Each structure stands twice: as C-alpha cells, then as structure tokens.
Amino acid sequence: MATTTSAQNHAGATGSRRSGSAPAAPVGTRPARRDTKAAIGFLSFNVTGFTLFTLIAVVLSVYISLFNWPLSGGRTSFIGISNYRAALGSYGFWRVVLNTLYFVGVYVPLNLIVSLTLAALLGPRVHAIKGKPFLRVVFFLPVVTPLVASSLAWSLMYNQGGIIDTALGWVGLPAVPWLSSGAWAMPSIIIMSLWLGFGYNMILFIAGITNIPDSLYDSAEVDGAGLFRRFFHVTLPLLSPLVFFGTLMTLITSFQVFVQAFVLTGGGPGNASTTMVLDMYEEAFRYLRLGYGSAIAVLLAIMILIVTAVMFVLQKRLVFYEH
Amino acid sequence: MSTDAVVGPAARAQRGRAVAASATTSRHRIRRASRLGGSVVLNVVLYALAFACAFPFLWMLATALKPENNALTNQFFFGYHLTWSNFGQAWHFFPFGRYMVNSFIYSFGGVLVVLAASTTAGYAFARLDFPWRERLFSLYVATLLVPATVTVIPLFLLSRQLHIYNTYFGLIFPVSFSAFGTFFMRQFFRTLPEELRDSAKIDGASEWWIFVRVMLPLCRAGAAVLAVFTFIFYWGDFLWPLIVTQNQNLYTLNLGLSEFQSQYGGYWSYMMAGCVLTVLPAIILVISLQKYLVKGLAFSSFGGR
C-alpha cells in the first residue's frame, strides 16, 4: 500500500502546488463546524519551530547578505548589494561557480545513466540475474553511510601509491595524481559521489518499474520488441515522472555538494575543487564574513530555483503522464 | 548444470512460448544459447560492480585491522596480523565513546522532535478544518524549495541569539522543523477514512485521544519510515553540527573524525577504526529495516546526494 501511495505521490510532491490549493474538505457544503481550537493545539509546536527556524531563517539569509557582518564581533553595517557586487566581480567566486557546475554537469548525468541501467537490470523484468535483493542492498549501502567516514575511506584509497593506483597498475594503467592535481581533484570527487549517490535513484526507479503493468511488456514482446526497445519504448516513458523527480532531487542536492570536497581535498589544490557551499562555509566561518557568506548562499539558492523552474518547463515536454 | 538452473524462469517462459509458437526452433535454440551466455556475463559484471561498490567498506575494515605501521600497504586481510587494538588506540587520541553518545543523542533527539512536530501538524493539515489551512500549507510547501544549506548562517546567528549555541538543544532543534516531515505525515493521514474521527467524536472522545489512540497507531508505518530516514540523516549530518558546536564534549562522530583527520591524518589505521564505528550503526539499521526503506525512499528528502 505504502509503495503505491508513495509512487503516486512524487508527482504530488513535485506538483504539489496544484493539489495543495484544492480544498480537501468542501467547506461550503458542510455546516460551519470548524476545529480551529484543536488545530491551534496540534499546530502550535510545529508552527513555532517552523516560523523561527525555517521562515525567519530564510528571510534572515537575505537580510544578512545585505550587511557587512563580521563574525569576530566587530560592528555590523548595512552595505546594500555590495556583497553581491563583490562576489560577482571576483574571479574566485566564478571559479567556485564553475567548479559547482562542473560537478553537477558531470555527476548528475552519470548518476542517472548508472541508476537507470541498474534499475532496469535489477527490477522485476530481467529474470537472468541471481540474488537481486542482495545486489540492491549492496548498491544502496553507500547512500546511507555517513559521508565523512566514506570520504575518509576514499581519501585513503586515492592516496598516492594507494590501492586504486595499485589496481590501475595491475591492468597496465599509469598512476593518477587523484587528489593532488588540479585537473584530477574534481573527477575524484565526482567518482566518489557517483559511488555514494546512484543507489538512491536506483531503488526509486526499481519501485517505479515494479509498478508498470505486465501487460504492456507482454504486448511489446508480442510485437517483437527486444530488451532495448522495451526499455526505451515502455520502461522509460512510463518511468518518466519518477525520472523527473529523481533528476530534480539529484540536481538540488548536487548543487549543495560539500562534505566530499571538505574531506577529500579541502577545496584544493588551490581552489580547484572548492564548491559553492564549501566557499560559503569558509567565507563565513574561516574568514568570519557572515554577510558575504550569506550572499553566496542566496546566489546558490537562486541558481537552484532557476534550475528547478527550467526542469518544470522541460517536464511539460518530456514527461509522459498517463492521465 | 542444467540451463534451467542458470536462466530459471526466463528460460522456462521462453520455452513455453517456443512451444506455443512452435515456430523456427533452431532460431530459438540459438537465441537461448546466446541469452545464456549473455546472462552469465551480465551476472559476472553485476557482481564485480557490487564488489567494487562494497570495496571501500572492506578496505576501511581491512585498514582498521592493520597494525599502524602497515596501514599504507596494499594488503587485503591477508599477510598481516589482524589487530583490534586500533579501536582502543583511536579511543586514546579522541573520546570516540563520548562522540558516539553525542551522535546517538543528536540522532534520537532529532527523531523525537521531528516525529512530534510532523505527526501533530501533519494530522492537523490532513484532517482538521480551520481557516487559512490551505494557505498555511502552501507556505510550508514553498519552503521545500529553499535548499537547506542556505539557512545555515542565519540559524547559526539565531542559535547564538537564543543562547542555544553549543548546546544539545541548539544541535537538535534548529534543523528539526523542515516542512518535509509535515508534508510526509500529512500524506499518510489523508489516506485514513474521514468517518473514523466522526464516529470517535460521537462516542465523546477528545481530539487528543482520537489522535493518540486512533489516528497515530494507524499511521505507524509512515511514522516508522520517517523515523528511520530522520535517524540516518542526523547520523550522517556534518555541516550543522560543525557550525553549532564549539566544545569537544558536544562533538558527534563525524566531527570527531574530521578533527582526527586534521590533527592526526597520518594515522590511517586508527582513523579507519573510527570510521568503522561510525558506519556500522547505519549499516546495521539499513540491513535490518530494508523493507521500510524501500517503501519510504520515494518520499525521502535526501535523494541522490
């Protein structure tokens, strides 16, 4: 039961403005028997926390970004959009934006390719694979592993002369300066992120494939469609709402990549792998410029909102809904 | 080994169809043979991939059991004396026991606050009738669009202002009121029939009695899924504890590991021992609760990191 509700609800989750605005109870038809008093009781805890720690925090993030706000305890002063002007005018900031876009641009497509392929193979339609539940758990484990610990393990493996270099040597490939070269730092982070991230989408897509009716595959097979054509003409279109949801979530989270860069490279060498959230953290809590850090955070939020909006526009063209 | 043992239902179904169609049997035989070869290759590739996927964990454990002076050798469980003493050594550098207790306090505290806040509000939004309900709910949903990292700096300033900076309270509360839990629980409460509440009310039950004794038990599965996901999220969370704690006594395991890396980064065996301690609870939880996870995953907010 829960599976079906959840599967239907991503569409609801992503397009929730529609369902949210439709009143669930026909207010007009029922006599005015409202539960306002009870509602205040049930809501007070949540609304208090939500107002303080979510609503006010969101407003404050913009507010702080308009100030010169030293963490060290110096005087705060209103400086308008100067933080934004400073960020947008600095080479360092654009480097960080490009790093983030590099990460998102390479990581998200790779994640989707790997997770879709594995979901197709480990879903219920391909019978040739043994021990699917075991494989699913193994592929999913990295998703729930605390990021600092898994990043440390990877940094050990990426070490010069470490196990990855050794393994490359076995197949005759040269060692790679994974974390120590500007060119390889970001690919290292991407490879590690792929390892830890694809399992989530894989499980999501497996749940979606399970819900596709058998009859569609049967008729496709009668029409002589092979494995690949069935995937592209049956699975993919029917899965597209979920693929949209998974892509959107992956995009949003990958724009906020932080721990991998923090632990693996510390953003280096130089700032070759500094991401926007890492930059925000360092500006705010290492250089103690809360205002400037907040401006970076707001610019990141704007980028994510733009990407989300673009995704919703694309959704109308690319996503196939049955109803 | 018979072909059926390897190919299983696929081959049997294929054979059934072959009989039904009773068409070019030789073509079928060829196709079946190639499919058999293909499926062996596919299985080998997938299990190799699974091994690669599990390898960082295995390597973590192999290194955690290596004598420290062997830590950077590329031996894999063999060729060295397995030692558990690294766990004690890690403890010697940093109070990992304390960190673990803190991680549990942070995670369980987070689960409690999130559950208390989300079930009550989720129920109100789903089943109670009050003015401005939909508008308020839309406001909640709108904040889902704001990435969590954006509010970290204001939350830091707020917790200093509220004098909860560098306390357990500050660790837990500021990050426990995302709209997600409310949204999630509302979906579950909406699946319950409206009449339940009406009939309980006719029997003279109070709103809270109905909620605690009737509604909540029916949404147990949903609350369990939310609890597991919240636990895993808090267990792995790094940015907020990093910002809101100053005192080592409040450090979680993740902070301890990061601190260990910056101070004693060369002691790989000890560090990996600390990692094993951090990873183990999450892995145990996931393996024992697989069923719930798959159901709730679709809903979870930490997708595709």
Question: DSSP assignment of A143-192, as one string?
Answer: HHS-HHHHHHHHHHHHSTTSHHHHHHHHTTPPP--TTTSHHHHHHHHHHH
**Any domain includes A276:** yes
**Any domain includes A49:** no
Confidence of residue B298 (pLDDT cuts 50, 70, 90): low
**Mutate which: B4, B27, B129, vs A, most A CBs within 10 A:** B129
* Residue A41 contacts residue B134 (beta carbons within 8 Å): no
Global pTM value: 0.85
Q: What is the pLDDT of residues B47-62, one digit of tens each?
A: 999 999 999 999 999 9
| Helix orientation angle between A147-158 and B268-288, rounded to the nearest 10 degrees | 130
**Any domain includes A35:** no
Structure tokens at A83: 């933080």
Q: What is the pLDDT of residue B104?
A: 95
Chain B residues inside the 8 Å CB shell of A6: 295-299
The reply to whether residue A140 touches residue B286, judged by beta carbons under 8 angstroms, is yes
pLDDT at B267 over 90: no
Among A22, A64, A146, select the one facing B153 at the smallest CB separation: A64
Q: What is the pLDDT of residue A20?
A: 40
The mean per-residue pLDDT over the stretch A246-253 comes to: 92
Among B130, B147, B294, select the one facing A35 at the smallest CB separation: B130
Environment class of B198 (CB within 10 Å of its CB; exposed 0-12, middle 13-18, buried 19+): exposed
**CB under 8 Å to B260, separation ≥6 — which residues?**
B90, B93, B94, B267, B270, B271, B274
The reply to whether residue B275 touches residue A2, judged by beta carbons under 8 angstroms, is no
Q: What does the CA dihedral A68, A70, A74, A79 come to, rounded to 10 degrees?
A: 0
**Any domain includes A188:** yes
Query: Taking all residues of chain B, what is their mean pLDDT, rounded to a whole number?
Result: 83
Q: What is the pLDDT of residue B28?
A: 62
Among B121, B242, B272, select the one facing A46 at the smallest CB separation: B121
How many domains does one find in chain A? Answer: 1
Environment class of A3 (CB within 10 Å of its CB; exposed 0-12, middle 13-18, buried 19+): middle
Question: What are the DSSP E strand ranges found in chain A?
Answer: 67-68, 77-78
**Any domain includes A81:** no
Q: What residue numbers bound the domain in which A95 lies?
A: 86-318
The reply to whether residue B305 touches residue A281, judged by beta carbons under 8 angstroms, is no
CA pair distance A91, B155, nearest whole angstrom: 29
The reply to whether residue A152 touches residue B275, judged by beta carbons under 8 angstroms, is yes
**Any domain includes A124:** yes
Confidence of residue B99 (pLDDT cuts 50, 70, 90): very high
Q: What is the pLDDT of residue A3?
A: 37
The reply to whether residue A137 touches residue B278, judged by beta carbons under 8 angstroms, is no
CA pair distance A209, A234, nearest whole angstrom: 10
pLDDT at A81 over 70: yes
- Owner of token pair 């005018």: A89
What proportion of chain A, given as a percentage, has pLDDT over 90?
Answer: 54
DSSP state at residue B45: H
pLDDT at B23 over 60: no
How many interface pairs between A and B have CB atoms less than 8 angstroms apart?
Answer: 337
Q: How far is CA B303 from CA A28, A203, B104, B152, B293, in A?
A: 40, 11, 23, 20, 12
Nearest chain A residue to B103 by CA: give it: A146
B-facing residues of A in 292-311 (CB < 8 A) are 293-294, 297-298, 300-301, 304-305, 308
Q: Three-class SS of residue B29?
A: helix
* Interface contact A6, partner B, CB < 8 A: yes
Chain B residues inside the 8 Å CB shell of A300: 147, 149-150
CA pair distance A311, A318, nearest whole angstrom: 10
Q: What is the pLDDT of residue B297?
A: 59
* Residue A230 contacts residue A143 (beta carbons within 8 Å): no
Q: What is the pLDDT of residue B35?
A: 66
CA pair distance B10, B36, nearest whole angstrom: 10
**CB under 8 Å to A184, separation ≥6 — which residues?**
A176, A177, A178
The reply to whether residue B174 touches residue A39, judged by beta carbons under 8 angstroms, is no
CA pair distance A52, B107, nearest whole angstrom: 21
- Kindly report the CATH number assigned to the domain that includes residue A224: 1.10.3720.10
Q: What is the pLDDT of residue B45?
A: 93
| Helix orientation angle between A91-122 and A236-255, rounded to the nearest 10 degrees | 150
Among A17, A118, A133, select the one facing B141 at the smallest CB separation: A17
The reply to whether residue A46 touches residue B117, judged by beta carbons under 8 angstroms, is yes
Tell me the sheet residues that pair with A67.
A78
Among B151, B295, B304, select the one facing A197 at the smallest CB separation: B304
Q: Is the dihedral of CA A224, A227, A233, A239 positive or negative?
A: positive
Comparing C-alpha atoms, which of B147, B224, B93 is closest to residue A2?
B224
Nearest chain A residue to B230 by CA: give it: A144
Among B49, B131, B285, select the one facing A36 at the smallest CB separation: B131
Confidence of residue B44 (pLDDT cuts 50, 70, 90): very high
* Residue A150 contacts residue A240 (beta carbons within 8 Å): no
**Any domain includes A274:** yes
* Interface contact A288, partner B, CB < 8 A: no
